[in-house]
Amino acid sequence: MKNKFIFIMGILIIILLGIMIYSVIEKETYNIDKGINPPRGNIDSDIIVIEFSDFQCPACKGAEPIIKEILEDYDVVFYYRNFPLPMHKDSFIAAEAAECANEQNRFWEYHDVLFENQDKLDKGNLKLYAQELGLNAEQFNDCLDSEKYKPEITKDIRDGKASNVRGTPTFFVNEKKVVGANEVLIRQIIEDI
């Protein structure tokens, strides 16, 4: 009797885990704009991965090694979209700063610096990081001070909300939504394509 109970509980746990995993991948597909940031990976790939992310989100920082592994293991193209969350006071200006770095073709280097310094993303530090990366400081500072990319960040947020992005990171793999940095699910979708 005890063994039968354990067996039934084991089956129920497996079923529940399956339901949880399956529910993280939505059945609905989304046509997501790639945004203005340069891609990583093979731009000719048929597999497109788009991430909505926040530079102050700890889970987004935790997703970075996963993204790098996926880029190494698969023929994909990866795009980054900004989705600064209101709870992170400096994430919006950090997103603007990343776009200003993009003007000087240094988006990815600046992106990496922002994730390395998540707790220091105030305006002064954002300008310092640009200087340390050798960006044209005057051009960068003018860009950041003018809030030139505020409309673009707002568009990213609007696009994310239109695609039911509720938190970060949220991935779209060939228009299939994956909530969170679930490497297993992202790989599963890629391998099923």
Give how many domains the chain has, as a whole number: 1
- CATH number of the domain where residue 103 is located: 3.40.30.10
In a domain, 153, yes or no: yes
In a domain? residue 185 = yes
Residue 191 above 50 pLDDT? yes
Q: Determine, yes or no, domain membership for 11.
A: no
Does the residue 2 lie in any domain? no
DSSP string, the chain: -HHHHHHHHHHHHHHHHHHHHHHHEEEEE------SSPPEE-TT-S-EEEEEE-TT-HHHHHHHHHHHHHHHHS--EEEEEE---TTSTTHHHHHHHHHHHHTTT-HHHHHHHHHHTTT--SHHHHHHHHHHTT--HHHHHHHHHHTTTHHHHHHHHHHHHHTT--SSSEEEETTEEEES--HHHHHHHHHH-
User: Does residue 54 fall inside a structural domain?
Assistant: yes
Range of the domain at 70: 27-192
Does 6 map to a domain? no
pLDDT of residue 23: 42
Band of residue 35 on the pLDDT scale cut at 50, 70, 90: confident
Q: Is residue 118, in this structure, part of any structural domain at all?
A: yes
pLDDT averaged over every residue in the chain? 89
Structure confidence by residue, pLDDT tens digits, 85-122: 999 999 999 999 999 999 999 999 999 999 999 999 99
The answer to whether residue 7 is domain-embedded is no
